[in-house]
Structure 1
Amino acid sequence: MSGGPLRGITVVEFGRFIAVPYCGQLLADAGARVVKVEPLEGDATREHGIIVPGEGRQYLNKNRGKESVSLNLRAAAGVEIARRLAARADVVLANFRPQLAASLALDYASLRAVNPRVIYAATTAFGTLGEDADQPGFDVVVQAYSGLYASLAPHDDRPPDPGLPLTDYVAAVLLAWGVMLALWERAQTGEGQEVATSLLAASLVLQNNRLTHIDAIDGWRHDFLRRLPDLKVGRPWGEINQVATAMQPQQVHPAYTNAYHTADGTIVIACYGRPLQRRLLTLLNLDDPWVTDPAWEAPEDPRPHMHRVYHAVAAAMRTRTTAAWLRAFRAAGIPASEVRHWAEMLDHQQAQANGLVHRFEHDRVGGVTTVGPPVQLSRTPLQPAFPPRPLGADTVPVLAELGYGHETIARFIEEGVVRVA
C-alpha cells in the first residue's frame, strides 16, 4: 500500500476509455486502493494500440496501480458482486449512461441506501440534465457539439486533427477535484454525496477565455450568430473563425504572442503586457506606437496596423537560428520556446527532472515509459504503486474479501460470471 495522501481510501472504478480511468489512476497514484471492474472481454482500451492480446497502449497509460476484477454485469450474480464491492467503497467512479446505472442498481441513489458514506463520482458526455443528457458521446463528438473542434480548425478546408482527447483529460481532473472536495466534506459531516461532471463541462472550461459575454460591448456575437447559418455553407471553419475574430471589438495583437519561423525551425513567443512587448521591440529594433506611445490613437480598424507589425516581427525572426533567438530571449526575460514534437518529451530532461516521466516493467509487454504523476506533494509524494494488471488478475482475492468461498468462486468462473487471469 502506498504512503500517499489517499492511503486508506478504497475506490471502485466502473470506468471505460479515458476520463474515468485516468481519474482512477490519479487517485491510485495518490495512494488510494483502486479496484477496477472490467467486463469479461476487458476494458475496450486493452485493444487500443494492441501490443499483445489483452494489453494495449491506451490501457497501459491509464490503469497503473489498480487491481483488476472481471465481472459479467449481464448476469445477476455479477451485478450482485458489483453491488457488494460498491457498498464497501469510499468512492465509486463510473461513466455508465444514467439509465443503465439505475437498471443495475449501481446508481447513487441505490448505493447510498446501503452506504450513506459513499461518494459517487460520474462523468457523462453532456451532463445529467437537459434534452441531450442520455445521448452517447465521445471526446471528439463533444468537441464538435461545444464549438471547441471548430475553434481548432486550420484556415483551409482540412478538418481539425481529432487526435488529442482534450475534454476527456480535463474531465478526469475535474472529477478527481470533485472527489477531493467530497472527501473533505465527508470528513466534516460523515455523509457521502454525488459528484458529477461531463465532457461538455470540460470543453467549456477549456474555452473559458472566449466564453465571456459583456453586454456593453459584445453585441457582435448576436450579429455573428445571425450570419452563421449562411457562413457554414461551403466555407472552411478556419475562414468562419476569421470572420468572428474580425467582428470582435477587442482585437488581440497577433505580433506579440505567436509562432514564428526562424532560420532553422519554429519558435513561440508570449509577450503579454506592455513591459514584455517593449522588450521584444527593443530586441528586434522595431517600433510599434500601439505599445510605445501612450498618446497614439489606434485607427478604427486596427487590423492593418497589427498585421504590419506582425510581418515585421516575422521577417526579423527569420534572420537567426532558433538557438540564437532562445539565448537572446532568455537574456531579455522574454518567455519563448522552440516548437518541439511530442515524441521528444519522454526523453526531455525537464520532464524527467520533475518526475513527469514514469518507467515500469510489465510482465507481458516489457519496458514501458509513460507520463508520471502530474502533481507532487512534499510530505506525502505521489508514487505509482504497480504496473497495470492483467485482466481478472485480482478477481479471486477480491471476491474472497467479499466473503465468497472457494466453491462459489469456482462456480462463478465455470458459469462465466467472473474471469480470472
Structure 2
Amino acid sequence: MGLLTGLRVIDLSRVLSGPYCTALLADLGAEVIKIEAPAGDDARHFGPFLEGRSVYFSLINRNKKSLALNLRDERAQSIVAALAATADVVVENFRPGVAKRLHVDADTLRAINPRLVYLSISGFGQQGPATGLPAYDLIIQGMSGLMSLTGDPAGPPTATGESISDLWTGLFGSWAVLAALQARTRTGTGETIDLAMFDAMMSLQMTGLAQLQATGSAPQRVGSRHPVTVPVDCFAARDGHLTIVVPTDALFAQLCAAMGRPELAADPRFAQGAARRAHQAELRALIAEWFCTLTVDEAVARCQAHDIPAGPVHDLGQAMASEQARARGLETRVPHPVFGQVGIVPQPARFASGGTAEAVREPMVGEHGDALLRDILGRSDEEIAALRNSGVLA
C-alpha cells in the first residue's frame, strides 16, 4: 500500500516528461494505465539496450500497466473514454491539438467525468506563438536561456548532462496533479492543467532571474563557479576534482586557516563578499594552487575539518556505488524477464509511514490489455478477441 493507492491514472504520454510524471505517481501506489500505440512508446526504441531491450524505457516506466491501442480507431477512443470515466487523472503530452483530434482531450473526457484531473504537457503550452512547434529537451534548454548560462565562459552554450527540461516538467506535473486532487476534495470537481516545458525551465532559474532584474542585463556563463558568491566553485586536486561552497566571511576565514594563509581573510581584496567577487580570478588562483598539492580525499578532509562544505566530484558510477547511496537505498533491484534484474531509482522522498508501493518492472507492450478490459470495463473474451483481430487492440 502506497500513499496514492486507490488512485487511477490514465497515461497517454510518451518518451519522457509525461512518463516521468506518472512514474512518480506510480512509485507511491497509483495505478497507472499506460496507453501506447501498437508499436509501443517511441522510448522503447531508445538506447541504451540490454539484450535488445531499452534500459532507458525500463527505468522511466516502472510500476505501470500497458494497454496498446490504435487511437485512430473510434473503438479505441471509446475504450479510453470508458477508462477515463473510472479514473482520477489523465496525463498526455501530445502536441497541442492532437488529443482533440483523437477525441481524448480534456473537454471530451471531463464531460464524461467532471471529477477528472487532466494534465496536458507540451513544449510551449496550449496558447502562444510557439504553440504547436515540436519541442525536445535540447530545444527548451536553448530557448529558455539555460544553455546560455551553462558551460565555460570561453566556450559555447552547453546543455546539462541530463534531459533536465523533460524531467523537471514531469516533476512539476506530478506536483500539479496532486494539488488539483487536493482541491477536488474541497470542490468536488476536477481540473484541467496546461503545463509547458518552456515555462517550467523559466521558473527554475532563480539566480539568473535575480541577476537579470537587479542589473537589467542577461547573466553570462561563469563555468562551475557561482555567478554571485565567491568562492563557490569546482577545483582540481592531484587526482580529481572537488567542489567547495564558502558563502560567508566567517567561512572564508576558515578556508584561509585551512590553507595555512590566515592573513588572506584580512586582505582588502578578499575580506568581504563584494571584494571577493571583484577579485575572484586572483582568489581562485590562490585556492587552486593549494588544492593541486593535495589529493581529493585530503582536500575534502582539510575543508571538512574546518567546517567548510566540500565534496568530491564523482562520476555516476562512483555516486551510485557510494556508501551514502547504499545507506539511503537509492536503487531497488527488481526481477526482470530479460535483464534478470533491473535497478530502479524511484522517487526520493522518505515517508515515515512507508508511503511507497512495491517496485515492479516496466510492462511489455500491451501486457495488461486483456485484464484491464475485462476487469475494469467488463469486456468479454469474445469482445477482446474481436478488438485484437481488427487491429484496435495490440
TM-score where L is the length of structure 1 = 0.86
Q: Which amino acid aligns with 2:338?
A: R
**1:67 is matched with which residue: 65, 68, 89?**
65
CA deviation map 1:343-369 (0-9, x unaligned):
223322211211211211211222212
Q: Which amino acid aligns with 2:119?
A: A
Distance 1:298 1:66, change over 3 A: closer
Q: Which amino acid aligns with 1:358?
A: T
Q: 2:242 touches 2:313 (CA, 8 Å); kept in 1?
A: yes
Q: Which amino acid aligns with 2:356?
A: L
Q: 1:91 Cα shift?
A: 0.6
Matched, 1:43 2:19: no
Q: Paired residue for 1:233? A: none
Q: 2:246 touches 2:252 (CA, 8 Å); kept in 1?
A: yes
Matched, 1:280 2:255: yes
Q: 2:150 touches 2:160 (CA, 8 Å); kept in 1?
A: no
Q: Which amino acid aligns with 2:391?
A: G
Matches within 5 A, 1:16-415: 16-49=14-47, 50-53=49-52, 55-157=53-155, 160-161=158-159, 163-212=161-210, 217-221=214-218, 241=221, 252-254=228-230, 256-286=231-261, 287-288=264-265, 289=267, 293=271, 298=275, 303=278, 305-400=279-374, 401-415=376-390
Q: 2:138 touches 2:159 (CA, 8 Å); kept in 1?
A: no
CA deviation map 1:12-52 (0-9, x unaligned):
10111111111111111101111111100001111112334
Query: SS of the counterpart of 1:98?
Result: coil
Counterpart-to-counterpart distance in 2, 1:341 and 1:85: 44
Counterpart-to-counterpart distance in 1, 2:43 and 2:51: 13
Q: 1:143 touches 1:167 (CA, 8 Å); kept in 2?
A: yes
Counterpart-to-counterpart distance in 1, 2:275 and 2:155: 33
Q: 2:149 touches 2:157 (CA, 8 Å); kept in 1?
A: no
Query: SS of the counterpart of 1:211?
Result: helix
Q: 2:117 touches 2:192 (CA, 8 Å); kept in 1?
A: yes
Q: 1:206 Cα shift?
A: 3.0
Q: 2:63 touches 2:359 (CA, 8 Å); kept in 1?
A: yes
Unaligned runs of 5+ residues in structure 2 are none
Query: SS of the counterpart of 1:210?
Result: helix
Distance 1:251 1:6, change over 3 A: closer
Q: Which amino acid aligns with 2:99?
A: A
Q: 1:218 Cα shift?
A: 1.7
CA deviation map 1:226-251 (0-9, x unaligned):
xxxxxxxxxxxxxx746xx9xxxx97
Q: Which amino acid aligns with 2:258?
A: L
Which deviates further from its counterpart, 326-335 or 12-21? 326-335
Counterpart-to-counterpart distance in 2, 1:373 and 1:84: 30
CA deviation map 1:64-91 (0-9, x unaligned):
1111100001112111111211221101
Query: SS of the counterpart of 1:61?
Result: helix
Query: SS of the counterpart of 1:67?
Result: strand
Query: SS of the counterpart of 1:120?
Result: strand
Count of residues in correspondence between the two structures? 387
Q: Which amino acid aligns with 2:393?
A: V
Q: 1:117 Cα shift?
A: 0.3
Counterpart-to-counterpart distance in 1, 2:257 and 2:125: 50
Query: SS of the counterpart of 2:147?
Result: helix
CA deviation map 1:77-110 (0-9, x unaligned):
1111112112211011111222111112211111
Q: Which amino acid aligns with 1:96?
A: F
Q: Which amino acid aligns with 1:351?
A: A
Distance 1:193 1:375, change over 3 A: same
Q: Report % sequence identity.
A: 29
Distance 1:322 1:298, change over 3 A: closer
Q: Which amino acid aligns with 2:67?
A: V
Counterpart-to-counterpart distance in 1, 2:62 and 2:185: 27
Q: 1:205 Cα shift?
A: 2.8
Counterpart-to-counterpart distance in 2, 1:180 and 1:140: 28
CA deviation map 1:237-280 (0-9, x unaligned):
xxx746xx9xxxx97354x1111111222111011122222211
Q: 1:62 Cα shift?
A: 0.7
Counterpart-to-counterpart distance in 2, 1:104 and 1:269: 52
Q: Which amino acid aligns with 2:284?
A: Y
Q: Which amino acid aligns with 2:337?
A: D
Q: 1:309 Cα shift?
A: 1.3
Distance 1:394 1:297, change over 3 A: closer
TM-score where L is the length of structure 2 = 0.91
Q: Which amino acid aligns with 2:253?
A: R
Counterpart-to-counterpart distance in 2, 1:308 and 1:314: 10
Q: 1:293 Cα shift?
A: 4.6
Counterpart-to-counterpart distance in 2, 1:157 and 1:307: 18
> What do you get for the CA RMSD once the two structures are aligned?
2.4
Q: 2:332 touches 2:359 (CA, 8 Å); kept in 1?
A: no
Q: 1:167 touches 1:202 (CA, 8 Å); kept in 2?
A: yes
Counterpart-to-counterpart distance in 2, 1:161 and 1:5: 35
CA deviation map 1:392-413 (0-9, x unaligned):
1100011112122211111111
Q: Which amino acid aligns with 2:50?
A: I
Unaligned runs of 5+ residues in structure 1 are 225-239
Q: 1:11 touches 1:34 (CA, 8 Å); kept in 2?
A: yes
